[in-house]
Amino acid sequence: MRQGWRWFGPEAPVTLDEVRQTGATNIVSSLHQVPIGRAWTEREVRERQSLIETTPADRSPLIWSVVESIPIPDAVKRKGGEAKAEIEAWIASLEAVAACGIPIVCYNFMPVVDWTRTDLDFVTPTGATAMRFDHERFAAFDLFILERPDAAHHYSDEDRKRARVVYEAMSDDEIADITRIITSALPGSTTEPLTIPAFREKLVAYSGIDATRLRRHLVEFLEAVTPAAEARGVKLTLHPDDPPRSLFGLPRIASTGEDYAALFDAVPSAANGMCYCTGSLGVRADNDLPAIARRFASRIHFAHLRATTREGDGRTFHESAHLEGDADMVAVLRELVAEDRRRSAEDTIVFRSDHGHRMLDDLDKTVTPGYPAIGRMRGLAELRGILHALGAPPS
């Protein structure tokens, strides 16, 4: 397996030279500065590539092997194959990436909001901080801050009562905080930051789009883009929903093994692949992570490895240290290594230690939420240790 590291670009607090010190060799990056929907040019991709791949004297090389993500504009999720101009622009971006020889592209198909949390700095017993999704706080936002008209139907009486108590105890600052965390699009999100009125409008634009229709739109999108990817030798990898269930009454269709099976059946192209994310899929107790890795092994080209721990009835969760969550990371890596052994060296799975606790010096620094250097490096080191023990040291 290849050790990846997500790098948010030249403005990121973690520099490429620091990345080298973590032991990572493969960079995962995106042109976050390009507005969603605008086609990337080859020149722009090459510029980023040359930042990453121009190695200073006596330093080890880095290679840009994964684009995470080329964002899929809202129109594609709402209209599927009818969003012709948006799909053409996406293919143009893909072609620019392919022209630069970058072999893996990650994307997701979550409507309106990408990955979602309610707390970014939840203090863990070690003193490090973690990200957390608190179902009651989320419901309080949905019901009483966003005031989504249909929201009441999506919660039980008991949920609504608890959410009201939570909401009434929130200070103005806490309300502003949770609003910012949920609406402003977390780092790497492929959805736009929203104001509350814009958020409400977007939700209205999705009325009538259920899971069947959203899945159809994704299939239409894949039918349009996989021929271009296949012709250029690029693997597309669909990131799972995070969390893997409906939010705000919106459909989510990449939450379970069955969801992925339906997509692979509908679009069998070898370019139709999976970004296997233990942290996202692992929030559902009914997702058997090693079984999913085994079932879709040949489709997995990119892996996000991190851990979550479910709390209470499982709808609330926090991000744990990489080996301390609900997922059996050793069992997962066994499956990924077995697949890797069937592949040629240039085709092995790129993984990155995803997210990480904010700890040590990072507690006093400005960090990208979820992506502090030290916590991610701790995770990477632990994962590397497992791979060595499995007799499969990563490159």
**C-alpha 380 chain-centroid distance:** 17
Q: Which residues pair with 275 in a beta bridge?
A: 302
* Position 324, amino acid: E
340 is catalytic: no
Smallest gap from residue 172 Cβ to ligand DNO (A) = 28
Q: Which one of 135, 217, 239, 301 is the catalytic residue?
A: 239
Of the candidate spans 15-23, 100-108, 138-146, 265-273, the one that interacts with ligand DNO by CB under 6 A turns out to be 100-108
Q: How far is CA 91 from CA 104, 164, 171, in A?
A: 14, 46, 46
H helices present in 65-171, as ranges: 74-79, 84-99, 135-140, 157-168
* CB nearer to ligand DNO: pick between 22 and 108: 108
277 is catalytic: yes
Quote the CA–CA distance of 206 and 256 in Å, as a whole number: 22
Q: Decide if residue 68 touches ligand DNO (CB under 6 A).
A: yes
Binning the chain into helix, strand and coil, the percentages to the nearest 5 are 45, 15, 40
Smallest gap from residue 84 Cβ to ligand DNO (A) = 22
Q: Decide if residue 221 touches ligand DNO (CB under 6 A).
A: no
Q: Which one of 217, 301, 304, 357 is the catalytic residue?
A: 304
* Position 21, amino acid: Q
Query: Roughly what angle, to the nearest 10 degrees, separates helices 211-232 and 257-266?
Result: 60
- Residue numbers 190-209 binding ligand DNO by CB under 6 A: 190
239 is catalytic: yes
**C-alpha 164 chain-centroid distance:** 30
Among 65, 108, 183, 320, binds ligand DNO (CB under 6 A): 108
Q: Decide if residue 357 touches ligand DNO (CB under 6 A).
A: no
Quote the CA–CA distance of 46 and 370 in Å, as a whole number: 27
Fill in the per-residue mask, 270 to 309: x = in contact with ligand DNO (CB under 6 A), - = not in contact. ----------------------------------x-----
Q: Which one of 142, 340, 354, 362 is the catalytic residue?
A: 354
Of the candidate spans 102-110, 204-212, 258-266, 293-301, the one that interacts with ligand DNO by CB under 6 A turns out to be 102-110
* CB nearer to ligand DNO: pick between 96 and 305: 305
Q: Decide if residue 114 touches ligand DNO (CB under 6 A).
A: yes
Quote the CA–CA distance of 129 and 110 in Å, as a whole number: 26
* CB nearer to ligand DNO: pick between 163 and 301: 301
Transcribe 184-198 into DSSP letters.
S--TT-SS----HHH
Among 290, 370, 372, 375, binds ligand DNO (CB under 6 A): 370
Q: Which two tokens stand for residue 161?
A: 């009562």
Smallest gap from residue 111 Cβ to ligand DNO (A) = 12
Q: Which one of 100, 355, 357, 362 is the catalytic residue?
A: 355
Q: Decide if residue 352 touches ligand DNO (CB under 6 A).
A: no
Among 117, 137, 239, 301, binds ligand DNO (CB under 6 A): 239
Smallest gap from residue 65 Cβ to ligand DNO (A) = 15
355 is catalytic: yes
304 is catalytic: yes
Question: What is the gyration radius of the CA atoms in the chain, in angstroms?
Answer: 20
Smallest gap from residue 256 Cβ to ligand DNO (A) = 17
Residue with tokens 């230690």: 353
Among 189, 226, 287, 353, binds ligand DNO (CB under 6 A): 189
Sign of the CA dihedral with 280 first, then 282, 285, and 287 last = positive
Smallest gap from residue 163 Cβ to ligand DNO (A) = 25
Among 7, 64, 107, 199, binds ligand DNO (CB under 6 A): 107
Cβ atoms of 254 and 291 within 8 Å: the answer is no
Phi, psi of 222, deg, nearest 5? -65, -35
354 is catalytic: yes
Quote the CA–CA distance of 333 and 89 in Å, as a whole number: 36
Residues contacting ligand DNO: total by CB under 6 A: 13
Q: Which residues pair with 199 in a beta bridge?
A: none
Quote the CA–CA distance of 43 and 34 in Å, as a whole number: 13
* CB nearer to ligand DNO: pick between 66 and 128: 66
Q: How many Cβ atoms sit within 10 Å of the Cβ of residue 86? A: 20
Task: Just list the catalytic residues.
Answer: 239, 277, 304, 354-355, 371
Binding site for ligand DNO (CB under 6 A): 68-69, 106-108, 114-115, 188-190, 239, 304, 370
